[in-house]
Amino acid sequence: MPRLEVLKTYKIYIGGQFPRTESGRFYIVKNKKGVNLANVCLSSRKDFRDAVVAARGAFGGWAAKAAFNRGQILYRIAEMLEGRKAQFIDELIKQDSSAADAENEVNLCIERLIYYAGWCDKFQQLFGSINPVASSHFNFSVPEATGVVAAIAPQNTGLLGLVSVVAPIIAGGNSTVVLASESKPLCAVTFAEVLNSSDVPGGVVNILTGKPSELVKYFADHMDVNATVYCEKDGETQKLIKEKASLNVKRVVLYDKINWQSDEGQSPYFIMDTQEIKTTWHPIENIGGAKAGY
């Protein structure tokens, strides 16, 4: 008798756990030929809110980790992804990629993670500054993570878009809730398993599956989200996001012209898109009578 294949249950990823959607809803993912690939969670507003709570809880610890340590963890994600390449390639092929494209996409994701692993403890030196103020003060500016970033992953790829958007967000010390590609969500869930075994603290990256058309407004209007990332060209949705974002002065980051396949899809400027600049002042004592000169 041939062995019966064990099918995988695709669940969402919140706070380091793999729950099903609280709503009990699902949708069927099909390939182009109409073959059913999986029943996937149709995440709800409540799932998103739970994920934001998890992300907020994880933010302080992640942002406070040594930048070097964050770099090691991003590198670890790349290592885990390398080890599970075959599974990702298999899923991409199921979701209509050619074998060559699938392998190329997974390789590019691994490279991209390593690229950002390297940036974790370097972009601060590039984008920070010592400011030569005219008064007797020591003054410097450093980038710091914006906070909780809600991102809708690029919809046209199963893995590359998600990795390209998430890596710079977490490299900079933010936590994130990311909504996977609606039509190609399988790799996103499997990527959560990679994160789960990569020393990424639970809650730093939360991955939901579902419909952007349903959830986008919550990604933009949640009062405990600091920034929203959106990658499609849809002008109406962009407008909706910007309007809702004004409720708590969210930063809105639009990546609607980026080719994630190319080198243009990676840059420290992507890290800076979800950073704040903090400037610190402290007086320098000038003791009366002290002479200049060393």
Partner 1 sequence: MATRKNNTLKLSFETGWKYDPAPESKSSAKIDPRYELFINGKFEKPLSKKYFNTINPATEEKLSEVADANVADVNKAVKAARNAYDKVWKKMPPKERAKYIYRIARMIQERAREFSVIETLDGGKPIRESRDVDIPLVANHFFYYAGWADKLEYAFPNRTASPLGVAGQIIPWNFPLLMAAWKIAPALATGNTVVLKPAETTPLTALKLAEIIQEADLPPGVVNIITGAGATGAAIVNHPDINKIAFTGSTDVGKLIQRAVAGTNKKVTLELGGKAANIIFDDAPIDQAVEGIINGIFFNQGHVCCAGSRLFVQESVYKEVIRKLKDRLETLIVGDPMDKNTDVGAINSKQQLSNIHKYLKIGQQEGAEMYQSSCPLPSKGFFCRPTLFTGVSQSHRISQEEIFGPVLAIQSFRTDDEVIEKANNTPFGLSAGVWTDKGSKIFNLTTKMRAGVIWANTYNKFDPTSPFGGYKESGYGREGGLHGLSAYVNLT
State yes or no: residue 146 binds partner 1 (CB under 8 A): yes
Q: Which of 8, 213, 233, 243 binds partner 1 (CB under 8 A)?
A: 243
Phi and psi at residue 283, in whole multiples of 5°?
Answer: -65, 150
Binding mask 8-27 for partner 1 (x = CB under 8 A): --------------------
Answer for the pair 43, 8: CB distance below 8 angstroms, yes or no: no
Helix ranges (H only) for the chain are 45-64, 67-83, 85-94, 99-119, 123-127, 160-171, 186-196, 212-221, 235-245, 268-272
Closest by Cα among 125, 148, 113 to 220:
148
Report the alpha-carbon distance of residue 267 to residue 176 in Å, rounded. 19
Exactly one of 133, 197, 211, 233 binds partner 1 (CB under 8 A); which one? 133
Under the binding rule (CB under 8 A), the answer on residue 125 touching partner 1 is: no
Cβ(15)–Cβ(54) under 8 Å? yes
Q: What is d(CA 294, CA 281) in angstroms, rounded to the nearest whole number?
A: 24
Q: Give min distance, CB of 63 to partner 1, in A.
A: 9
CA 206 to CA 55: how far, in whole Å?
7
Q: Which residues have CB under 8 Å from 40's CB, separation 6+? A: 10, 26, 27, 28, 29, 185, 186, 189, 209
Within 197-236, the residues that bind partner 1 by CB under 8 A are 226, 235
Q: Which of 36, 135, 259, 286 contacts partner 1 by CB under 8 A?
A: 135
The span of 1-9, 19-27, 94-102, 242-250 binding partner 1 (CB under 8 A) equals 242-250
Q: Which of residues 96-115 bind partner 1 (CB under 8 A)?
A: none
Reading the block at residue 27, the tokens are 């949708």
Cα(168)–Cα(253) distance, integer angstroms: 12
Interaction of residue 259 with partner 1, rule CB under 8 A: no
Please report whether residue 131 would count as binding partner 1 according to CB under 8 A. yes
**Would you count residue 239 as binding partner 1 (CB under 8 A)?**
yes
> Mask: binding to partner 1, 158-197, rule CB under 8 A, as x and -?
----------------------------------------
CA 164 and chain centroid, separation: 8
Q: Does 261 bind partner 1 (CB under 8 A)?
A: no
* CB of 37 or CB of 142, closer to partner 1: 142
Applying CB under 8 A, the span of 22-30, 81-89, 209-217, 273-281 interacting with partner 1 comes to 273-281
Q: Closest separation between CB of residue 259 and partner 1, Å?
A: 14
Shortest Å distance, C-beta 116 to partner 1: 16
Which part of the chain contacts partner 1 (CB under 8 A), choosing from 110-118, 196-204, 210-218, 271-279? 271-279
| 126 touches partner 1 by CB under 8 A | yes
H helix or E strand, kind and range, residue 29:
strand 26-30
Supply the Cα-derived Rg of the chain in whole angstroms: 21
- Please report whether residue 256 would count as binding partner 1 according to CB under 8 A: no
Which two structure tokens, joined as six digits, stand for 289? 């009578």
| Residues in touch with partner 1 (CB under 8 A) | 64, 126, 129, 131-135, 137, 139, 141, 144, 146-147, 226, 235, 238-243, 245-249, 251, 267, 269, 276-283
